[in-house]
Homo-oligomer: A and B are copies of this chain.
Amino acid sequence: MTAATGAPDDARRCVALPDPFPMRCGVSLPGARVAYETWGRLNGARDNAVLLFTGLSPSAHACASPEDAAPGWWEDIVGPGRAIDTHRHFVICVNSLGSCFGSTGPASQKSGTGQRWGLDFPELAIEDIARAGRETLAALGLERLAAVIGPSLGAMSALAFVAQFPGIARRLVVVSGTAAASPVAIALRSVQREAILRDPEWLGGRYLPDQPPRTGMRLARKIGTITYRSALEWNARFGRARLAAGPAPARANAFAPEFEIEAYLEAQAERFVRAFDPNCYLYLSRAMDRFQLADHAGADGLSAIFSRADLERALVIGVETDGLFTIDEQARLAAALERAGVATTFARLHSPQGHDAFLVDTDAFDPVLRRFFS
């Protein structure tokens, strides 16, 4: 297991996972690796490391660095002087196992073959993503974490991490997460996957990288975009504004976009088609449905997991307008942590921006995270 160096213009590093890597479904994954980035430095006491898991679609590039100056997916929160201060913390962000930004997943070459994994990739669980994060730490020689943190799917991964590897993280931060997906969230993801699965271009998962199932991915992302934000935000931001475009005959057909909100969805969808692999999307999406933190508990419930985890403190943050990972789900997590005797802060934010608020509403998230990490 070695930490290899990426291209000079790339901040990404890779860790080879134990070969084969045992997955939760019982199958072992050969030749797998995890991509990660780091910021800041490990201190002499080796007690300032923060492990950051990501949502469904980001890479390990959480913020800019000398090696990669492009803004990261959590640029406003992670960095020098920011809420998760890389002057004080050594931050490690991992690209989820099963994703397509350097970590092994359905879009990766199956080792020893010229082919991509596709649907031959073993069933993926959130627990596997957490375990791959754990192995990344081991490769870096880290035995303790100041904190493990993640938003959305990343929050599930952080929860799976403390459930499987008690005693490593001193603190847990759950951002817009849940102990188990609600039926509405499962329903929405089921429809998103169906859009991809039924796209003729999906070809049973054997599409070429440059010929992905565009329609399915567009629909999946548009559904996602609608459910990631909130009505409150869109009423103010878009209302019923029309596009400046010409009259109907000039449009592709009578049903072409004519409201600004439709053009916004278009832009989001087109960006996503170019950025993310459809099979990886399917695997990560289903893993979110199946995750149940309670699988790691006995009849004594979630608080037994948190008692075992030996956490000093926890922070649970949620947003009242989030319909996908609701504030009630976060409230239940916070209550379970408190029952376990963990000093817990529960932050119920009034952001209008729904599930995506952690990405865009820095004013709401920054002070809460800053206080917890300082």
| Interface hits, A80-95 → B, CB 8 Å | none
Contact present for B286 and A255 (CB under 8 Å): yes
**A259-279 interface code vs B (CB 8 A; 1 in, 0 out):** 101100100000000000000
Number of interface residues of A (CB under 8 A): 47
Q: What's the dominant secondary structure at chain A's contact region?
A: helix
Max chain B CB contacts within 10 Å: which of A183, A197, A262? Answer: A183
Tell me which of B223, B286, B326 contacts A254 (CB under 8 A): B286
Tell me which of B195, B197, B255 contacts A282 (CB under 8 A): B255
Tell me which of B193, B194, B219 contacts A191 (CB under 8 A): B219
| Interface hits, A131-169 → B, CB 8 Å | none
Does A119 sit at the interface, judged by CB under 8 A? yes
Contact present for B219 and A183 (CB under 8 Å): no
Tell me which of B119, B187, B219, B240 contacts A253 (CB under 8 A): B119
Chain B residue numbers with a CB within 8 Å of A362 are none
Given that A240-B186, A254-B123 are known contacts, is A191 also in contact with B222, CB under 8 Å in the complex? yes
Given that A187-B261, A190-B257, A286-B255 are known contacts, is A123 also in contact with B181, CB under 8 Å in the complex? no
Binds B, one of A54-62, A107-115, A230-238, A365-373: A230-238
Contact present for A194 and B180 (CB under 8 Å): no
Tell me which of B190, B195, B235, B259 contacts A265 (CB under 8 A): B190
Q: How far is the CA of A215 from the CA of B223 in the complex (A)?
A: 16
Does A289 sit at the interface, judged by CB under 8 A? yes
Tell me which of B119, B190, B219, B254 contacts A194 (CB under 8 A): B219
Closest 8 CB pairs of A and B: A183-B234, A183-B261, A183-B238, A198-B215, A184-B231, A191-B222, A190-B262, A187-B261
